[in-house]
């Protein structure tokens, strides 16, 4: 399992990983032994493990995906992707995050793979962070900015609340409170800073 390889590299035991990450030792053992898939773990659990091992959540998931199915590219849920991006911004800081995303051309790479929600979310994040930091907008992605998702994408919390309350007003309220840089792509996002 990829975590065992990383532990070996870091000269760290599963027990120490558990203690430093705050993730139950049983959970780490289940992941390492193949009893539990990282794909099924919460974003918070993966984030804690990745942080201690000094890797990204994406690299953990990609490595697991490659070991489970050779040459099959792993794609996490959109909710997990958004959470990972927000944690990445928090860890790196706005400016370093923007620089990393622009230098790696990740927005265009995701767009070429036709992973449109991820590409547009990342572009929305870069545009939003550029605005709040009084930076000029990168014009390299003006062609992508002309597009938006065919259907509005809501956070799962909004969809659950709307279903429980039997009210479309919940969705309308979420759209009104959405950050414009995301809403332009039909992605409802109102909070990228307060992470759990």
Per-residue pLDDT tens over the stretch 106-129: 999 999 999 999 999 999 999 999
Please check whether residues 95 and 58 belong to one and the same domain.
no
Domain end, chosen from 68, 90, 113, is at 68
The whole-angstrom separation of Cα 193 and Cα 178 is 14
Verify that 60 and 110 share a domain, yes or no.
Answer: no
Provide the CATH number for the domain around residue 62: 1.10.260.40
Tens of pLDDT, residue by residue over 138-187, are 999 999 999 999 999 999 999 999 999 999 999 999 999 999 999 999 99
The answer to whether position 91 is within a domain reads yes
Q: Does 165 lie in the same domain as 107?
A: yes
Which pair of tokens denotes residue 70? 């050779």
Does residue 189 sit within a domain? no
Helices (H) and strands (E) in the chain, counts: 13, 0
Task: Return the number of other C-beta atoms located less than 10 Å from residue 182's C-beta.
Answer: 22
Residues 25 and 102 in one domain: no
**Residue 71: its pLDDT value, please?**
43
Whether the full predicted model's pTM is greater than 0.75, yes or no, is no
In a domain, 96, yes or no: yes
**Do 13 and 92 have their domain in common?**
no
Which of 68, 100, 120 is where one domain is finished?
Answer: 68
My answer on whether 52 and 136 are in the same domain is no
- Paired tokens of 34: 């193949």
Q: Using CA of residue 161, residue 165, residue 169, residue 173, what is the dihedral sign?
A: negative
Residues 21, 87 within the same domain: no
The answer to whether residue 194 is domain-embedded is no
Distance CA 96, CA 90 (A): 10
Instruction: Count the domains in the chain.
Output: 2
195 within domain boundaries: no
Residue indicated by tokens 């493990």 = 49
Residue 192 counted as domain residue? no
Residue 117 lies in a domain: yes
Domain span holding position 48: 2-68
* 91 and 31 within one domain: no
DSSP track, 12-72: --HHHHHHHH---HHHHHHHHTTSS-GGGS-HHHHHHHHHHHTS-HHHHHHHHHHHHSTTP
């Amino acid at each position: 399992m990829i975590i065992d390889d990383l532990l070996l590299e870091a000269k760290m035991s599963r027990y120490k990983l558990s203690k430093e990450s705050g993730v139950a030792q049983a959970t780490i053992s289940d992941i390492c032994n193949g009893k539990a898939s990282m794909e099924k773990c919460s974003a918070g659990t993966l984030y804690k493990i990745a942080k201690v091992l000094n890797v990204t959540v994406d690299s953990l998931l990609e490595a697991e995906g490659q070991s489970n199915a050779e040459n099959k590219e792993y794609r996490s849920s959109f909710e997990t992707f958004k959470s990972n991006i927000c944690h990445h911004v928090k860890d790196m800081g706005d400016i370093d995050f923007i620089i990393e995303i622009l230098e790696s051309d990740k927005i265009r790479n995701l767009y070429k793979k036709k992973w449109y929600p991820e590409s547009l979310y990342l572009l929305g994040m870069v545009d939003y962070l550029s605005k709040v930091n009084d930076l000029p907008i990168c014009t390299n992605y003006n062609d992508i900015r002309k597009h938006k998702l065919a259907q509005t994408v809501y956070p799962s919390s909004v969809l659950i609340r709307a279903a429980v309350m039997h009210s479309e007003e919940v969705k309308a309220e979420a759209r009104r409170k959405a950050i414009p840089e995301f809403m332009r792509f039909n992605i409802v996002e109102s909070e990228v800073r307060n992470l759990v």
